[in-house]
């Protein structure tokens, strides 16, 4: 599937600019419909579907879930604790959603069996693609084993994300570098 990354980026205003802040504030106000100043995972998922309105993003629930949990634990508890995203974490949520969505697209391309896991054969067969995204991999089988931290014989999305972040995986997008992911 070919995605319009420019469109996706335009719907996730995580830039540290005045325009980015204003767009985030407007987006936040549209998602925080009850006006309580924080967002649950359910509100975020509904917001991705109804407010951001990007079908491919909404269909990648693992990316939404991972971005939510990654972002909500970044501040010192905040007023509402660790169960919600507050506005101070929203920019990071949008940025990490964009990153995890890209990682999900990469994961999905390698997962030939479409069973939400990557076996060693699928990983090894994707050598050229993987090296395009992360650079040369000397020993694909050893790399697979290092990613499979639970030693289940398959790479799960959560394991893939950790590896992709460490490798600064970039599937076909311009200059975005995920090692620059940062809090406000």
The pLDDT of residue 175? 45
Query: How confident is the model over 31-47, as a mean pLDDT?
Result: 91
Per the CB < 8 A criterion, the answer to whether 60 and 101 are in contact is yes
Which residues are CB-contacts of 67 (< 8 A; sequence separation ≥ 6)? 93, 96, 97, 99, 100, 101
Domain residue limits at 90:
5-180
Single pTM value for the model: 0.83
Q: How far apart are CA 88 and CA 50, in angstroms?
A: 22
Q: What is the pLDDT of residues 121-167, one digit of tens each?
A: 999 999 999 999 999 999 999 999 999 999 999 999 999 999 999 99
What value does the mean pLDDT take over residues 97-113? Answer: 91
CATH of the domain at 143: 1.10.238.10
pLDDT band at 91 (very low <50, low <70, confident <90, very high): very high
Which of 4, 1, 21, 5 shows the shortest CA–CA distance to 13?
A: 21
- How many structural domains are present in the chain? 1
| Mean pLDDT of the region 92-111 | 91
Please, which pLDDT band fits residue 79 given cuts at 50, 70 and 90? low
Q: What pLDDT is recorded for position 107?
A: 94
pLDDT of residue 184: 55
5 pLDDT more than 90: no
Q: What is the percent of the chain where pLDDT is above 70?
A: 85
* HEC readout, the chain: CCCCHHHHHHHCCCCCCHHHHHHHHHHHHHHCCCCCCEECHHHHHHHHHHHHCCHHHHCCHHHHHHHHHHHHCCCCCCCCHHHCEEHHHHHHHHHHHHHHHHHHHHHHHHCCCCCCCEEHHHHHHCHHHHHHHHCCCCCHHHHHHHHCCCCCCEECHHHHHHHHHHHCCCCCCCCCCHHHCCCC
- Say whether pLDDT at 7 is over 60: yes
């Amino acid at each position: 599937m070919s995605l319009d990354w420019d469109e996706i980026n335009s719907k996730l205003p995580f830039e540290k600019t005045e325009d980015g802040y204003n767009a985030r504030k407007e987006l936040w106000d549209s998602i925080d419909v009850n006006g309580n100043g924080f967002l649950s995972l359910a509100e975020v998922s509904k917001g991705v579907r109804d407010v951001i309105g990007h079908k491919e993003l909404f269909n990648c629930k693992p990316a939404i879930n991972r971005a939510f949990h990654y972002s909500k634990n970044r501040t010192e508890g905040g007023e509402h604790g660790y169960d919600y995203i507050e506005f101070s974490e929203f920019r990071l949520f949008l940025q990490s959603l964009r990153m995890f969505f890209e990682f999900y697209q990469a994961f999905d391309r390698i997962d030939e069996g479409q069973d939400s896991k990557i076996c060693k054969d699928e990983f090894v067969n994707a050598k050229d693609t993987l090296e395009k995204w992360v650079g040369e991999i000397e020993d694909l089988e050893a790399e697979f084993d290092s990613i499979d931290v639970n030693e289940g014989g398959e790479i799960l999305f959560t394991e893939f994300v950790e590896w992709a972040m460490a490798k600064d995986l970039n599937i076909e997008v311009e200059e975005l570098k995920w090692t620059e992911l940062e809090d406000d």
